[in-house]
Chain A
Amino acid sequence: MSVLVYTETENGKLKKTALEVASYAKGVADMLGATVTAVTVNAESTNELSKYGVDKVLTVKNDKLGNFNAKAYADVLKQAAQKENSKVVIVSSSANAKFMAPILAINLNAGYASNVVALPESDSPFKVKRTAFTNKAFNITEISSEVKLIGLSKNAYGLKENNGAATEESFSPELNEADFSTEVTNVDKVTGKVTIADAEIVVSGGRGLKGPENWEMIEELADVLGAATACSKPVSDMGWRPHSEHVGQTGKPVAANLYVAVGISGAIQHLAGINASKVKLVINNDAEAPFFKAADYGVVGDAFEVVPQLIEKLKEFKANNA
């Protein structure tokens, strides 16, 4: 038996989340006494996977799979799971994986638990811990079907090196014409900028910044930290920043290592969306802002004075620690 893991690529290169799900799959496989088989689609190189506990890589190369297609990719994984006789299948929480997983669950007749944050608590019954109520709680979910599908939360398990040797096998699943009834006609992707989904650090601005013209310092702070920029809901509702930057309950979820909130009061809906972040720093001139109760570090002060100084201090720090 092998645990199957879908290791995603971006422009042919393995994503960091691919290495995280591989690490996790190894942890699950060790619990079950199983091996790990990874599936890649149009990857240039899969060498890195052997460092994270993968025993075998099924490499799929097919020009028709150049753009992500949820139905077709679910078909690929279904056939891989059947070929490998996998009873546990693991995917990430990327937008694509979350798009595909429910389709795969039905195709494999698998119970699906999304947003899982840790290794299974037990394998019989099979119980996993996942977030619910938008990070305001956890729930322990029992998966009772024979095949189990797990969506791993980003940044929940981390990378765990496990050096070994992986064999590579070319895999050519049969694709169905019906898989391609939805066609991608245009992709509009920001390049050269850290995205909220991939970022280890996110710098976010709120209404306290008074207007879109003041975002330069947020961008500069993000730049120094190698971070993505984000914003609170009112800021995106007022059109100061694009919707794609809105983080919170109805926006994007954030599970960063460090979340920096500037001029954000910390409404419960906002906190819910960013709570999965490990360390939270808040900068706000209102000492009563609810965010101070939810953060790890806080600076009570005027953002327009604190942020520029912090940028300088961080530049100094980076120069000394380069």
Chain B
Amino acid sequence: MKILVCISHVPDTTSKINFTDGDTKFDTNGVQFVINPNDEFGLTRAMWFKEKQGASVTVVNVGGPETEPTLRKALAIGADEAIRINATPTDGYFVAKQLAEVAKDYNLIIAGRESIDYNGGMVPGMLATLIDANYVNNCIGLEVEGETATAVREIDGGKETLKTTFPLVIGGQKGLVEESDLKIPNMRGIMMARKKTLNITEPVSGDVATKAVFFEKPAPKGAIKLISPDNLDELVDLLHNEAKVI
């Protein structure tokens, strides 16, 4: 089984979000970047396939040289090799198009359901369509037997089980593996990662369908109204008459 895991290089979940250049660009100043959490669940599941069923695992990212530490981390976790497509990601379509060039050589492609920065949620579905592969989004369970896969997908109010075949693109999330299964790279992994191949490929030209032109932060919150635990009638009254939510 040849597995490709798509890795997005995103600000750590605790990052303060600010913008520069007249609110047209994300301010990376002082921001720690990590493997997109949804992708990390997928990467860890890929490592499970490698250990239990035999698979090669390649990680890929579309980004500039500054994203290489994130790919190295994926190698330290256990991926065999990495590919960096040397382009600044502009929109989901552009990224999917770049990934499609690489993905044709793999039979299982795992991406996260969305990146936690732009939250587009479109790359895996677009990629699957571009390479004419099967696709399961919001995937919380994946088993493989030969060329056949059984995937569990989270739906609104429950889950469903799907049967499908390779080539397959997965939009993964927590549930593919548990939080406690996530691996922190050890020293040996980090040392080995330095020697693993990180190929850099140039992007194919691609048109851009959408463009983030401006950013805004939510309006500052008004002060909280504190209600004494001895006066819950007031709370019910506020929820009914002021907030009008009950």
Asked whether B213 lies within 8 Å of A106 as measured between CB atoms, the reply is no
Interface residues of A in 123-154 (CB under 8 A from B): 127, 129, 131-145
Known contacts A269-B13, A306-B232; A258 and B155 CB within 8 A of each other:
no
Known contacts A107-B129, A182-B136, A279-B243; A112 and B19 CB within 8 A of each other:
no
Within the complex, the shortest CB–CB distance from B240 to chain A, in Å, comes to 7
Question: Which chain A residues border B218 with CB–CB below 8 Å?
Answer: 135-138, 275
Question: Which chain B residues border A225 with CB–CB below 8 Å?
Answer: 246
Give the interface SS of chain A, mostly helix, strand, loop or mixed.
mixed
Interface residues of B in 105-156 (CB under 8 A from A): 116-126, 128-130, 134-138, 140, 150, 153-156
Interface flag for A61 (CB, 8 Å): no
In whole angstroms, what is the CA distance A142 to B130 when docked? 23
Asked whether A317 lies within 8 Å of B120 as measured between CB atoms, the reply is no
Interface residues of A in 294-322 (CB under 8 A from B): 294-302, 305-306, 309-310, 313-314, 317, 321
Interface flag for A237 (CB, 8 Å): yes
Asked whether B212 lies within 8 Å of A140 as measured between CB atoms, the reply is yes
Partner of A182, one of B96, B134, B155, B232: B134
In whole angstroms, what is the CA distance A112 to B94 when docked? 12
Within the complex, the shortest CB–CB distance from A148 to chain B, in Å, comes to 9
In whole angstroms, what is the CA distance A201 to B158 when docked? 18
Q: Which of A157-165, A190-198, A212-220 contacts B (4 or more CB under 8 A)?
A: A190-198
Q: B151: nearest residue on chain A (CB-CB)?
A: A182
Known contacts A70-B137, A250-B174, A297-B239; A127 and B129 CB within 8 A of each other:
no
- The interface size of chain B toward A, counting residues with CB under 8 Å, comes to 81
Question: Which chain A residues border B163 with CB–CB below 8 Å?
Answer: 182-183, 185
Partner of A95, one of B119, B138, B216, B245: B138
Interface flag for A46 (CB, 8 Å): no
Interface flag for B186 (CB, 8 Å): no
In whole angstroms, what is the CA distance A145 to B206 when docked? 13
Within the complex, the shortest CB–CB distance from B99 to chain A, in Å, comes to 12
In the A-B complex, the 3 residue pairs with the closest CB atoms: A102-B125, A111-B209, A301-B229
A-B contact pairs, 29 of them (CB 8 A): A67-B160, A70-B137, A95-B153, A98-B121, A102-B96, A102-B124, A103-B126, A106-B125, A106-B130, A114-B121, A131-B119, A132-B215, A133-B11, A133-B117, A133-B119, A134-B116, A140-B216, A145-B210, A181-B164, A182-B134, A186-B160, A246-B174, A257-B245, A292-B224, A296-B222, A296-B224, A297-B235, A313-B236, A317-B240
A residues at B contact (CB < 8 Å): 67-68, 70-71, 94-96, 98-103, 105-107, 110-115, 127, 129, 131-145, 181-190, 193, 195-198, 200-201, 225, 233, 237, 243-244, 246, 249-251, 257-258, 267-269, 272, 275, 278-279, 281-282, 292-302, 305-306, 309-310, 313-314, 317, 321
